[in-house]
Amino acid sequence: MSYLVNKLNACSPYWSMFSRVLAAITGGYVLATANSIFISQLLLSSVGKYQAIHIGLMLTFITYACVAMWVFSVSTATKVWLGLIKLTVLVAVATWLLMKLNGMSS
């Protein structure tokens, strides 16, 4: 294991940066998607299905921007991934709860 770590130079800052960039691009996209679904569920009862989805989609760029900025301000790459996973799970759970709520009322 340590042989691999040494061979791949896994501790170099380039891997850390690559990891961050990957997190920002993919993890950010996933989180933004989760957020858009969450917002759609939030607005479902007030503006109707299509408009709720539309608004959720339009706001993704703001969430994506905030996530990207956050990713590059946290101290380590590990914290980035952990934070992203935590947030995504949180949003997913909240969305699932909202879906149950919306499903019950409609």
Interacting residues toward other proteins by CB under 8 A: 29, 32-33, 36-37, 40, 47-51, 53-58, 60-61, 64-65, 68-69, 72-75
To other proteins, the closest distance from the beta carbon of 22 in angstroms equals: 14
Close Cβ partners of 51 (under 8 Å, ≥ 6 residues apart): 43
| Beta carbon nearer to other proteins, 6 or 72 | 72
Measured distance CA(78)–CA(27) in Å, rounded: 13
Measured distance CA(19)–CA(49) in Å, rounded: 37
| Beta carbon nearer to other proteins, 48 or 103 | 48
To other proteins, the closest distance from the beta carbon of 66 in angstroms equals: 9
User: Which tokens in the block code for residue 19?
Assistant: 């990891």
| Beta carbon nearer to other proteins, 47 or 90 | 47
Q: What are phi and psi of 61, to 5 degrees?
A: -65, -35
